[in-house]
């Protein structure tokens, strides 16, 4: 029987980190180590170095990040760039100094320029100006990709370093944040339609025209893709990537309008009132769709049907809502 690798999940309490743990356990992995923020502050270099020196994991999933919506990014830009840069540099540096060969960095679709051609291909990186609202966060995520690439370029041959990056599209599902102010579009919609149903509201008003298109990936699909990319044979990974363009997009390959999304959430939640659109509110980008051709050609495709995923997300919302009400 082959010995299981010791796997460290940074960000295990987050939506993606907890989904990666589920995916690894499904594959029979039991040698998984985690630390809460209270146990290990990832922005503290001394603490991170001590942790890696004592635990010596063989694989690292770097899913830890400071995240938030537009309001949070605009209000705390210094925290977003500083904390994310520190988390990445501390973990990558500690991994290298403890002879860890395998690391997967999880980024975000916000790394791409604001006016990027759709669907967004990997080679669109650094070809234009970023969306100003979350530029500090995006810069930190781009730096994470370049950290991995730079360590590979300098230490790949001499030390066997193999650090990879994946960039997910908009994620939703179990463990999401359903806060009314700073959650993303799907959890915010689930909450609003649920509250409208409970309060017998005649209508729900959606900001904007409902015409912009967005792509959504269920978080367990993202976790499955992460484990898939981590375990790809190096020769196959190298064949489909370049040393300075090595990140891989993770999406479903199709999008839908905000209006279509609203109708689907309404159906899943069981809200029977009217859906109205407030076109006086700005729409944002007309389309955001990842080109996942690179990942598909490696042999991976998303599996979770969107309506099934939304139903699971609504169940998760109800569970987290009842927990809050019990507290």
Q: What integer pLDDT is reported at residue 70 of this predicted model?
A: 75
Mean pLDDT to the nearest integer, 72-77: 88
Please state the pTM of the whole predicted model.
0.95
Rounded Cα distance between 315 and 173, Å, is: 9
Domain assignment present for residue 314? The answer is yes
Domain assignment present for residue 1? The answer is no
Q: Is the pLDDT of residue 250 over 70?
A: yes
The mean predicted confidence, pLDDT, of the chain is 95
> In sequence order, which residues have a C-beta less than 8 Å from that of residue 61 and are 6 or more positions away?
7, 8, 9, 10, 11, 17, 20, 103, 104, 106, 226, 230
- Residue identified by tokens 């017998």 is 200
Share of the chain above pLDDT 90, in %: 87
Domain assignment present for residue 135? The answer is yes
Q: Look at residue 25 and give its three-state secondary structure.
A: helix
Rounded Cα distance between 252 and 289, Å, is: 9
Q: What integer pLDDT is reported at residue 149 of this predicted model?
A: 98
Domain assignment present for residue 68? The answer is yes
Q: What is the per-residue pLDDT across 280-320, written as a single tens digit (0 to 9) for each?
A: 988 878 899 999 999 999 999 999 999 999 999 999 999 99
User: Which CATH number covers residue 225?
Assistant: 3.40.50.720
- 161-192 burial string, b = 16+ CB within 10 Å, else e? bbbbbbbbbbbbbbbbebeeeebbbbbbbbbb
Domain assignment present for residue 92? The answer is yes
Domain assignment present for residue 252? The answer is yes
Structural domain containing residue 249: 7-326
Catalytic residue among 8, 112, 137, 218: 137
**Is residue 137 among the annotated active site residues?**
yes
> In sequence order, which residues have a C-beta less than 8 Å from that of residue 101 and are 6 or more positions away?
58, 159, 160, 161, 162
Domain assignment present for residue 2? The answer is no
Mean pLDDT to the nearest integer, 55-59: 98
Q: What is the number of domains present in the chain?
A: 1
Q: Which two tokens stand for residue 215?
A: 């792509």
Q: What integer pLDDT is reported at residue 2 of this predicted model?
A: 67
Highest mean pLDDT among 33-37, 68-72, 281-285: 33-37
Domain assignment present for residue 290? The answer is yes
Which residues are paired to 205 by β-bridges?
Answer: 276
């Amino acid at each position: 029987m082959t010995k299981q690798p010791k796997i460290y999940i940074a960000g295990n309490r987050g939506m993606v980190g907890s989904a990666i743990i589920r995916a690894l356990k499904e594959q029979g992995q039991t040698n998984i180590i985690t630390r809460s923020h209270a146990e290990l502050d990832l922005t503290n270099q001394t603490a991170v170095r001590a942790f890696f020196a004592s635990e010596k994991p063989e694989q690292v999933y770097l899913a830890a990040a400071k995240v938030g919506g537009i309001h949070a990014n605009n209000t705390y830009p210094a925290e977003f760039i500083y904390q994310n840069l520190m988390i990445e540099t501390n973990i990558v540096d500690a991994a290298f100094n403890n002879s860890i060969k395998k690391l997967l960095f999880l980024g975000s679709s916000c790394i791409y320029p604001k006016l990027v051609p759709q669907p967004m291909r990997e080679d669109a990186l650094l070809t234009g100006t970023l969306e100003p609202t979350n530029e500090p966060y995006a810069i930190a995520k781009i730096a994470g990709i370049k950290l991995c690439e730079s360590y590979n370029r300098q230490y790949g041959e001499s030390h066997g370093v193999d650090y990879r990056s994946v960039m997910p599209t908009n994620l939703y599902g179990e463990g999401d944040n359903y806060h009314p102010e700073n959650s993303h579009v799907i959890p915010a919609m689930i909450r609003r339609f649920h509250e409208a149903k409970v309060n017998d509201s005649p209508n729900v008003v959606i900001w904007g025209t409902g015409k912009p298109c967005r792509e959504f990936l269920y978080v367990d699909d993202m976790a499955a893709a992460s484990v898939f990319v981590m375990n790809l044979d190096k020769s196959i990974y190298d064949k489909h990537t370049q040393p300075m363009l090595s990140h891989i997009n993770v999406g479903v390959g199709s999008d839908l309008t905000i209006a279509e999304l609203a109708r689907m959430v309404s159906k899943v939640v069981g809200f029977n009132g009217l859906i109205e659109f407030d076109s006086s509110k700005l729409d944002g980008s007309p389309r955001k769709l990842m080109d996942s051709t690179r990942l598909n050609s490696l042999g991976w495709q998303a599996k979770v049907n969107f309506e099934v995923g939304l139903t699971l997300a609504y169940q998760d919302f109800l569970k987290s809502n009842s927990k809050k009400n019990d507290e």
